[in-house]
Amino acid sequence: MNLSDFVIVWQQYPAIWAGFVNTVTLLLLAGSASLVLGIVLTPMLMSKRPVIYRSIGFYCECMRCVPFLLLVYLIYFGLPSFGIQLSNWVTGFIALIIYNSAYMAIILRAAWQDIPQETVEAGKAFGLHGNRLLKRIIMPLILMRATPMIGNQMTQILKDSAFLGIIAVSELTAVMNAIQATHFIPFASFLSAVVLYWLICLVIEFFTLIFTRYAEVRRA
């Protein structure tokens, strides 16, 4: 291994850039979709009806116990046998969402169980109920509490996306893998990938910090 290996790697910058953009796109879209779906699933996890909280709880439990790689395989090979044909990118995107929505829901449920009961009760006492109570009081309180954990889950989504190379989604890891296979420079390729992932993580952490500061003022 020497410095010229890195030069060879970075001479492929158009491909690297494309992979980088693809990874960031997957992160942004799957991250926000997972958060939104998590917000929808959490009230179901906290539902009083056993059918609802058991079934959603079962789904979350399954996702928590299935390795992401296997889930990707299951979806990739499973959907066509149900007659559903999707592009590799969309398949990978869906896998990221299915997997991480469950994690988001679990994170938000934990925050829900942690909010002071009196503030929710005050909402009821002041005439809020049902969806409005959820939207105006409970969910904002939960999100303020869960900000750091949500940021952490975003880095998990970023790292999950690195598996999607196995179904030929040309994200950052897949691109670097192609480079190392062509030029026989695995170390320089993969180390470059790690540095780029690290940069994305820094950006996630930066935004998490900003949101956490915003939330700190707004929580009890």
Partner 1 sequence: MKDPIEVPNNNAFKVLQVQGISKSFGSNQVLRDVSLDLNKGEVLCLLGPSGCGKSTLLRCINWLETPDAGSIRLNSKRFGIHKGGAKMGDSDLARMRAKIGMVFQHFALWPHLSVIGNIVESPIHVQKHNKKEVHKEALALLAKVGLQDKADMYPASLSGGQKQRVGIARALAMKPDILLFDEPTSALDPMLVGEVLEVMRGLADEGATMVVVTHEMEFARQVASRIILMDSGEVVETGHPAQFFSAPQTVKAQQFLTRYHQRG
218: DSSP letter: T
- Whether 212 and 63 have beta carbons less than 8 Å apart is answered as no
Q: Is 213 in the site for partner 1 (CB under 8 A)?
A: no
Q: Is 48 in the site for partner 1 (CB under 8 A)?
A: no
* Count, residues near partner 1 per rule CB under 8 A: 23
Q: Is 127 in the site for partner 1 (CB under 8 A)?
A: yes
Q: How many CB atoms sit inside 10 A of residue 161's CB? A: 28
- Binder among 11, 90, 114, 121 for partner 1 (CB under 8 A): 121
One-letter amino acid for residue 80 of the chain: P
- Whether 156 and 103 have beta carbons less than 8 Å apart is answered as yes
One-letter amino acid for residue 7 of the chain: V
- Whether 35 and 150 have beta carbons less than 8 Å apart is answered as yes
Q: Of the two residues 128 and 166, which places its CB atom closer to partner 1 in the complex?
A: 128
- Binder among 124, 168, 203, 207 for partner 1 (CB under 8 A): 124
165: DSSP letter: G
Q: Is 83 in the site for partner 1 (CB under 8 A)?
A: no
The Cα 167–Cα 95 span in angstroms is 11
CB of 217 to partner 1, least distance (A): 5
- Binder among 81, 113, 126, 198 for partner 1 (CB under 8 A): 126
- Binder among 67, 116, 209, 210 for partner 1 (CB under 8 A): 116
Between 139 and 158, how does the x/- string for binding to partner 1 read (CB under 8 A)? -xx--x--------------
The Cα 159–Cα 31 span in angstroms is 12
Candidates 86-94, 118-126, 156-164, 174-182 — which segment interacts with partner 1 by CB under 8 A? 118-126
Q: For residue 35, how far is the Cα from the chain centroid?
A: 8
Q: Of the two residues 74 and 122, which places its CB atom closer to partner 1 in the complex?
A: 122
Q: Is 130 in the site for partner 1 (CB under 8 A)?
A: yes
One-letter amino acid for residue 62 of the chain: C
CA angle, 144 then 101 then 141, to 5°? 15
Q: Which residues sit at the interface with partner 1, rule CB under 8 A?
A: 116, 118-119, 121-130, 132, 136-137, 140-141, 144, 217-220
